[in-house]
Structure 1
Amino acid sequence: MTSYFDLRALLERVEAAAPIDAVTAVADELATLSGATEVSFLIADFSGHALVRLGTATRAPDGARVQGVEHAETLRLEGTVHEEVLRTQQAVVQRSDDGTCVIVPVTDRGDALGVLELVLPEPPDEQQLADIAAAGHALAYVIIANRRHTDLFEWGQRTTPFSLAAEIQRRLLPSAFTCEAGQFTLAGWLEPAATVGGDTFDYALDRDSLQVSITDAVGHEVGAALLATLLVGSLRNERRRGLGLDDQTRNANDAVATHSAAGEFVTGQVMRVDLHTLEAQIVNAGHPFPLRLRDGRVEEVELAIDLPFGVEAGTGYRLQRFPLEPGDRVVFVTDGMQERNAASLDVAAALAATASMHPREVVHELGQAVLRATGGVLRDDASVVCLDWYGGPPRERDSRTGASPRLASR
């Protein structure tokens, strides 16, 4: 078997290109090394229901969005081979009269960015297929590095225009919606309402702990987005100063109370898991209870309820023990999953039906379930964070080309 993947040549070509041409540089290098007649990258859009093929061809495909020389062709995801690749995180090889199409995931730490698609004159051997899969993994890092310098990828992912409120809210979300680690896997998702409702989620991992939050600002549109910005910005600032969970939440509450108008507040939960003692603590600021899937049974985790953030300056928040056992799946939600026109959704039943799925698929499926329950018209944002807890000591995770094969959805 002959290897044709040269990582050094690939990275040098990427570095020589402008950030907006990073994907094209990878495509050209792969075409040169593999003899592929076509190489393209399809990025996952922000809806979670489509992929977008980015390109600069002289003639854009019918129906594609065009911006200067760039074009973005939106392709349905459900029921396609691309969906299979993203769910299973495995390469697919398809033969046809025009050649052999190879599709591999573009993923980093379980966060599925899209797929890489090549058309080869001959079917690849085992080594060549492994090289193409490695190129897809490398492309994930190329995109992560280069999207800091250009709006191309962000533009491609926006299959529907953003309002100002949605733009502000988007900036509050973590840059990666999924994180696989040795002790856990975490994924989050936000289904935005027709009028933005102020939902956010966040997480951070360091050597000693995992911190997770989910919040819901009162109101809609720019007002709600600005209120959410106050809370999320304060929580991140206090966390990055190295303060404990009690000080983080107390100071964040004071910031919202000081800088917001009367009657404005944010509900939320902030949890910290100690990765050495394996103990978890949580603050519940007037938010819907989490759900836990344990041994096939779904139940609410009842918590003492403190005031929402911003109601009263000087409020202290109780640090409550959160019971975690290896094998637990914990889901945090906002009230958009349970109230208003989503009230007919049985979230517990929907969660039980996803037991065999990877957390990134769980949050997508729950998002789809709330859209089905509301006829596709949400009256409030619906956010969900799914944490699979494996426990045990801090350790490396089992990974192959950006994802753990044993965790992939069946």
Structure 2
Amino acid sequence: MLDLRELMDMAEAASPVEAIDVMADAMAAMLSATDVWFWITDLSGRAVARFGGTDANAARLHQGAAEDVPVVQLAGTVYEGVLRSQRPDLRTDRDGSRLIVPVTDRGDTMGVVEVRLPETPDGFAIADIAAAARALAYVVVGSRRHTDLFEWAQRSTPFSLAAEIQRRLLPSAFTCEAGQFTVSGWLEPANAVGGDTFDYALDRDSLHLSITDAVGHDVTAALLATVLVGSLRNGRRHQLDLLDQAGRANDALVAHSRPGEFVTGQLVRVDRARARLAVVNAGHPLPYRVRGGEAAVIELGIDIPFGLYAGHEFAVQHVDLRAGDRIVLVTDGILERNAEVVDVEALLAATADRHPREVVYTIGEEVLVATGGDLRDDATVVCLDWHGGPPLGRPD
């Protein structure tokens, strides 16, 4: 039987670079398991790498030696099935059984735990292992702040400087399940990284979303995006309203860019009590709404992009939400000429019953297929599902 308190105590006592192995060894001892492995998802979303486990000494991730770590392409594998369904998978053979369970934090998939056992586990044991995998997710979140090992494991291809900058502008978790809503984002980088970003943050009363696209490519675009996203986060953390956030970010971009450089974007504030969106649309492609299984563009006025004129006052527009609504934001990489065969509205209608995490990934995959993998611009999508109901905050 697994003792979660003991597992967490042991992980906390270990070095951040050893915590996963310590938990795996402890789980193996408690379960009398042959092996316990943690497979971490690659940043591409298309592979998993064996990050740690009971045989980690045979394939340990060291700086400069990531090629020694086993990597499995997800397509068609049991790992893909578990990650997408978020359900355990149990298989038995003459050597025993293999159980694979998801490692997920608030809907953000981090990987899977694979447990090999000499006997077939019962329902209680499976539930215990699934609970340990959820605990492992918290260990991953806490440990990765102190080491680059997790980043090394998740990179099947080296990052350019522009890609490194862009990575730092994205949220630390691409998905968040939070009672009233679920939000998920995905970015498919172009061959020459563009300046796309997305971001979200939750406070007591509101959910803040942004999606932006800086003109140009590589480091130039990444630096423009850095100024804009940094200013937006700074304004948000000063508790400015949406209008003032937009104005401050625009003025910062004017002050720190050259003539002709700009960023398009959408800023969204979700009033959680009133179920209402406030939107600033700065020269950006229009968002979509899926309601009752049907997808359509939300008709909004289009303001000028950020960075053109200091002191510009952006228009704030409002959209009411109903329980069950899905709001989807995209950058123009989804709509570019070599991706134009992707019918976004039809794709959104066809995926209306899927989790937002699956929706954004599916759209990214469709764009890659449509372009033959030759993305000329970053392609980014954010999906918000509004479940409704009151905010579940603590009483004042």
TM-score (norm 1): 0.92
The equivalent of 1:365 in structure 2 is 362
Aligned-residue CA RMSD (Å): 1.6
Query: CA shift at 1:324, angstroms?
Result: 1.7
Q: What pairs up with 1:10-409 in 2 under 5 angstroms?
A: 10-55=7-52, 57-60=56-59, 67-68=64-65, 71-395=68-392
Work out the percentage of aligned pairs sharing the same amino acid: 60
Stretch moving more, 10-19 or 103-112: 10-19
Runs of 4+ aligned structure 1 residues displaced above 3 Å come to 55-61, 64-71
Q: Which amino acid aligns with 2:270?
A: V
Partners of 1:257 and 1:74 lie apart in 2 by 45
The question of whether the paired residues in 2 share the 8 Å contact of 1:65 and 1:72 is answered with no
How far, CA to CA, are the matches of 2:66 and 2:331 in structure 1?
A: 40
Deviation at 1:15, TM superposition (A): 1.9
- Secondary structure in structure 2 of the residue aligned to 1:136: helix
Alignment match, 1:401: none
Q: Any conservation in 2 of the 1:51–1:114 contact (CA below 8 Å)? A: yes
Alpha-carbon shift at residue 198 of structure 1 (Å): 0.4
Partner amino acid for 1:128? A
Instruction: Flag structure 2 segments of 5+ consecutive residues without an equivalent.
Output: none
User: Does the Cα contact within 8 Å between 2:90 and 2:100 map onto a contact in 1?
Assistant: yes
Q: Which deviations, in whole Å up to 9, do the C-alpha atoms of 1:189-208 show, x marking residues without a partner?
A: 00000001100000001110
> By how many angstroms is 1:57 displaced?
4.3
Contact 1:99 1:121 in 2 (8 A): yes
Distance 1:57 1:320 in 2: 54
Deviations 1:344-401 (A, max 9, x none): 22111121111121000100000000000000110000000001111221138xxxxx
Tell which has more relative contact order, 1 or 2 (C-alpha 8 A, sep 6+). 1
Mapped to 2, the partners of 1:139 and 1:58 lie a distance apart of: 20
Whether the 8 Å CA contact 1:65–1:73 is kept in 2: the answer is: no
- 1:12-39 Cα offsets, whole Å, 9 max, x none, are 2112221111110110110111011111
Give the superposition deviation at 1:343. 1.8
Q: Secondary structure at the match of 2:258?
A: coil
Distance in 2 separating the partners of 1:58 and 1:274: 50
| 3-state SS in 1 of match to 2:279 | strand
**8 A Cα contact 2:66 2:152, kept in partner:** no
1:117 CA drift (Å): 0.5
The number of residues matched between the two structures is 391
1:291 partner letter: Y
Please give the secondary structure, in 2, of the residue aligned with 1:187.
strand
User: CA shift at 1:164, angstroms?
Assistant: 0.3
Give yes or no for contact 1:60–1:66 (8 Å, CA) kept in 2.
Answer: no
Structure 1 portions without partners, runs of 5+: 397-410
- For 1:310 and 1:133, how far apart are their aligned partners in 2? 48
Supply the AA of the counterpart residue of 1:293.
Answer: V
Q: Is the 8 A contact 1:179 1:186 kept in 2?
A: yes
Q: Secondary structure at the match of 1:166?
A: helix
Change (3 A) 1:141 1:58: closer
Shift of residue 323, structure 1, vs aligned partner:
2.9
Which whole-Å CA distance do the structure 2 matches of 1:346 and 1:138 have between them? Answer: 40
Alpha-carbon offset, residue 68 of structure 1? 4.7
